[in-house]
Structure 1
Amino acid sequence: MKITAVRVTPIAIKDPALLNAAGVHEPFGLRSIIEVVGANGLVGLSETYGDAPVLDLLTRTGPSLVGLSAFDVHGMLARVAAHAPKIATGHVEMELAPGSLASNLVTSAYSAFEVAFMDLQARTIGIPLVQLLGGAVRNKVPYSAYLFYKWDASVDPEYAPDPYGEAVNAQQIVKQAHQMIDQYGFESIKLKAGVFDPEKEADAVLALKAVFPNHQLRIDPNSNWSMATSLRIAKKLDGCLEYYEDPTPTLEGMAELHKATGLPLASNMVVTNWAELKRSIELNSVQILLSDHHFWGGLRATQALARTCQTFGLGLSMHSNSHLGISLMAMTHLAASVHHLSYACDTHYPWQSDEILQGGRVPITGGCVHLTDKPGLGVELDQDKLAELHAAYNVCRIRTRNDVVQMQRFRPDWKQIKPRF
């Protein structure tokens, strides 16, 4: 079954002023929506990064896929690689924005097209995409409440109002957790840290533990703590954490921290490719891998990653960037197919108010996204909403995510320091 057209549409979605180790989220997150049209009239969907480097490669590759079989993912990869820039593009890279990283450009573009190809394949056959991945080992996938320190939207008129308001202390973080858990039923809680005094951030975890004693807790400083700080906070949070995510930089640093504390360490920062995974296994740096099909090479590559983790006794969960429902459903079909899913997955979805799907937002109930028996990913594009968010992209000043520059709009002397504390 041949491909007759490929459409790549950049969009801009509203994003709150979420704080992290690099700075603060910009008021718009960038995404790319991919439609792969088959000769049978069916359309495969995908969603990925909207940063300029990825968008450029997607846009240049798309026309070359016309005439290819929707089942020929190897041929698709060859075309992606052929259109990749041969020299540095000069784009600014930000560690917390995978869509800005030149080293992962081909993998990111391939991953995006692979989801669309497989969605079209599954729609053509008339089965849910998870069946192409070997079938579902679970019919629902758990996600975690992903808490952020954040500013209120009133900090700048570019930010749209959001239901969560300011969160710059433990009391406000607990309130944020209540809002998310009451609405979505999450049973795990993750706090994005590396923003304020580590002692205060640890106090927020202790406050969460007091209010939600039966919830699994995690903290993620994005490698923004020194070894001394990481050790000190590990001691303070002894017995509170499900796992300790990326507290300190480098594979060597994480190995030293694990050896000293015995805590299970999770990462999506020091292990982002197969070479780093090999080195991590040798050093025993990371005990839990936070996978992400967007930058690990797609759905089937992430299944292989899961089997590797199982072989070497490593836990597995999923990392998240700001995203909409197509990505959420791709994550869900993938996670539903993986025997070795050890922990609830991350998702930014509660932070996003926009959506491009017919019928609106994907439901999260009991902390889980449930599979359906609909073919493919089980979702359909709302073309009017797609056009609306594409129009927002056209007037948006952002072309590649940069939380450092955004923070400098408020604090001109801000610099990214790693580790800061």
Structure 2
Amino acid sequence: MKIVHLKNTQIAVGDPPLLNAAGLHAPYALRIIVELKTDAGIIGLSEIPGSQKIYLALEDLSSLLVGKDVFGLHGIKRLILEKFGTRDNERGVAPWDQRLLVHLFSAIEVACLDCIGKKLKRPIVDLLGGKSREKVPFAAYLFYKYEGAGGDLGFDIDSSKKGWWLARQQKALTPDQIVDQATAMCEEFGFKSIKLKGGALPPNEECNSMLALREAFGEDTPLRLDPNAIWSLPTAIECGKRLEGILEYYEDPVRGQKNMALLAKEVNIPLATNMCTTSFDDLPSSIALASEHIILSDHHFWGGLQASMQLNKICETFGRGFSMHSNSHLGISMAAMTHLGAAVPHLDYALDTHYPWQEDEVIQGGKIPIQEGYVTPPDGPGLGVELDRDQLEKLHQNFLRCGLKERDDEIEMKKVNPEWEFKLQRW
């Protein structure tokens, strides 16, 4: 099957005012929907974070892909490397990954695998070696947040919503409010593990939220805290001592492998990362320093599904835990993530997902169900999902109207607090 056309559509998805170490989520999260059409009439899909930089690179790449075989992924990767070299291939200091090449690799690879699966009438999980599990565990992902729904509603509340879809609009800035948020999310989706995005409030307040969650949910519910590398080493040690026996893992409380390795010697909690070890080049020093116990993969940030399978084997070989990081994704990325989660032989922890925070959807049939904290991989060929073109157009119009081109949480926070500035280390 040869590629005959690549269509890239920028969309904007309603996103509540969630807080993190870099500031505040804008009312819209940006995504790009990729449609790769072949000479067999098959269209493969993928979805990636929607920066203007990535969109322009995809547009630049489109004509070079025409005539390439969707089975020839190594050749396509070489073409991308020759075209872009190492340009814009730094992760950056923000909580989200700003590299170009890995996003391009994953965008094209997932779309090609979707085509191949549709041609062979087999789901992508089978192309990755088949199922290691029938359903994939996911964790509740909590955020400190201001009141509001995101999207056109901005900071308003839509009181016609019920259950979680009302609760997701409500303010959460105290331990009790975080417990209420967790309760609503777990009642809706049945999650058995809970993660809190930290780095937004003073560390002691975030520790108090974790202790309140333990009291509310008991010892059988694994808890995680992710301060996004905004804490100093002494602060991370102090908080870690408070949370020993409470946390399932401690994610990126400090910045860099050396600091993580020092922290690991002081605190008896497994350390996880998607900020200090984020590429295959980082792995030798990670192993040598013992800087973390768990690698949080993300097929967007590690260069695709096949690369993530390779990472899984390395983690197994060197005794590292494996799970997955999340971003503000819709159903195409959720499907890809779930196929990968079903395929990897070595999966120690429930996967992260922002999916409950995104009310919009771009696939036919609405959102992929999360039941009792698990997602079953779509059983159709390829990704097993298809575009809802009416929704795609609606979300594209959101993009045109909202005026956002790149994610910048600092700018959004300054709209609320003009004095606020991003700092590499805040506490």
Name the TM-score class by shorter chain: over 0.9
Contact 2:194–2:221 (Cα < 8 Å) also in 1: yes
Which residue of structure 1 lines up, in the alignment, with residue 80 of structure 2?
A: 80
Q: How does 1:4-403 map to 2 (within 5 A)?
A: 4-84=4-84, 95-98=94-97, 101=98, 104-153=99-148, 158-159=154-155, 161=157, 163=166, 164=168, 165-213=170-218, 214-403=220-409
Cα offset, 1:154, TM superposition: 7.9
Question: What SS does the corresponding residue of 2:272 show, helix, strand or coil?
Answer: strand
| CA–CA distance in structure 2, aligned partners of residues 359 and 231 of structure 1 | 47
| CA–CA distance in structure 1, aligned partners of residues 64 and 267 of structure 2 | 52
Give TM-score scaled by structure 1 length: 0.95
Give the partner amino acid of 1:411.
N
Q: 1:212 to 1:333 in 2, by over 3 A?
A: same
| CA–CA distance in structure 1, aligned partners of residues 154 and 83 of structure 2 | 35
| CA–CA distance in structure 1, aligned partners of residues 77 and 380 of structure 2 | 27
Cα offset, 1:373, TM superposition: 2.6
Cα offset, 1:92, TM superposition: 12
Deviations 1:26-74 (A, max 9, x none): 1111100011112222211100011011111111112221221111112
Deviations 1:261-290 (A, max 9, x none): 232100001111122221111111111000
Give TM-score scaled by structure 2 length: 0.94
CA-atom RMSD, angstroms?
A: 1.9
Cα offset, 1:414, TM superposition: 1.2
| CA–CA distance in structure 2, aligned partners of residues 136 and 26 of structure 1 | 37
Give the partner amino acid of 2:47.
E
Contact 1:323–1:348 (Cα < 8 Å) also in 2: yes
Contact 1:57–1:83 (Cα < 8 Å) also in 2: no
| CA–CA distance in structure 1, aligned partners of residues 203 and 46 of structure 2 | 38
Cα offset, 1:387, TM superposition: 0.8
Deviations 1:329-367 (A, max 9, x none): 100101111011110000000000100111111100010
| CA–CA distance in structure 2, aligned partners of residues 77 and 88 of structure 1 | 16
Structure 2 segments unaligned to the other structure (5+ residues)? 158-164
Contact 1:97–1:401 (Cα < 8 Å) also in 2: no
Q: 1:159 to 1:37 in 2, by over 3 A?
A: farther
Contact 2:88–2:100 (Cα < 8 Å) also in 1: no
Give the partner amino acid of 1:368.
Y
Contact 2:210–2:223 (Cα < 8 Å) also in 1: yes
Deviations 1:359-396 (A, max 9, x none): 11110001011024311111110111101111111112
Give the partner amino acid of 1:279.
S
Stretch deviating more after TM superposition (132-141 or 273-282): 273-282
| CA–CA distance in structure 1, aligned partners of residues 88 and 338 of structure 2 | 34
Contact 2:24–2:410 (Cα < 8 Å) also in 1: yes
Give the partner amino acid of 2:122.
I
| CA–CA distance in structure 1, aligned partners of residues 153 and 380 of structure 2 | 41
Give the partner amino acid of 2:79.
R
| CA–CA distance in structure 1, aligned partners of residues 216 and 25 of structure 2 | 28
Cα offset, 1:80, TM superposition: 2.2
Name the count of aligned residue pairs.
416
Give the partner amino acid of 1:134.
G
Give the partner amino acid of 2:252.
D
- Share of identical aligned residues, percent? 45
Contact 1:220–1:246 (Cα < 8 Å) also in 2: yes
Q: 1:64 to 1:350 in 2, by over 3 A?
A: same
Give the partner amino acid of 2:402.
C
Contact 1:94–1:401 (Cα < 8 Å) also in 2: no
Contact 1:14–1:159 (Cα < 8 Å) also in 2: no
Question: What SS does the corresponding residue of 1:339 show, helix, strand or coil?
Answer: coil
Question: What SS does the corresponding residue of 1:223 show, helix, strand or coil?
Answer: coil
Question: What SS does the corresponding residue of 2:247 show, helix, strand or coil?
Answer: coil
Q: 1:106 to 1:86 in 2, by over 3 A?
A: closer
Which residue of structure 2 lines up, in the alignment, with residue 3 of structure 1?
A: 3
| CA–CA distance in structure 2, aligned partners of residues 148 and 170 of structure 1 | 11
Question: What SS does the corresponding residue of 1:393 show, helix, strand or coil?
Answer: helix
Give the partner amino acid of 1:11.
I
Cα offset, 1:94, TM superposition: 5.6
Cα offset, 1:157, TM superposition: 5.7
Contact 2:147–2:156 (Cα < 8 Å) also in 1: no
Contact 1:137–1:339 (Cα < 8 Å) also in 2: yes
Contact 2:17–2:24 (Cα < 8 Å) also in 1: yes
Deviations 1:63-104 (A, max 9, x none): 221221111112222332344278669x99662232xx2xx2
Cα offset, 1:5, TM superposition: 1.7
